Amino acid sequence: QKEVEQDPGPLSVPEGAIVSLNCTYSNSAFQYFMWYRQYSRKGPELLMYTYSSGNKEDGRFTAQVDKSSKYISLFIRDSQPSDSATYLCASPSSTGKLIFGQGTTLQVKP
């Protein structure tokens, strides 16, 4: 079992839709969680960073962590074609390594 799991998709939505991207993790020691966005043929870039349960909002993006169920979510409101990318969740392990999920590929159609 991978320590961080994501449904790879692809997920296709119409422009303006609310998108929900999800991850589960197995390691109870994980304390911090990140979402990286990776455009095609580019490197990942940090989108959001959370370190506690609850919600964190940044513009159209909301990151949610539920440590009791080991579930991480990223919501995108009013999705745009420019949001089309692969979204990777990640958490640093106790040894300092960033453990990534497989990534979910999102396509927002105009």
Partner 1 sequence: DTAVSQTPKYLVTQMGNDKSIKCEQNLGHDTMYWYKQDSKKFLKIMFSYNNKELIINETVPNRFSPKSPDKAHLNLHINSLELGDSAVYFCASSQDARTDTQYFGPGTRLTVL
Residue 109 in contact with partner 1, rule: CB under 8 A: no
Say if CB 7 and CB 61 are below 8 A apart: no
Residue 88 in contact with partner 1, rule: CB under 8 A: yes
**Of 8, 16, 54, 81, the one binding partner 1 by CB under 8 A:** 8
28, with CB counted inside 10 A (0-12, 13-18, 19+), is exposed
Residue 42 in contact with partner 1, rule: CB under 8 A: yes
Task: Reply yes or no: is the peptide bond before residue 14 cis, omega within 30 of 0.
Answer: no
Site map 51..80 versus partner 1, x via CB under 8 A: ------------------------------
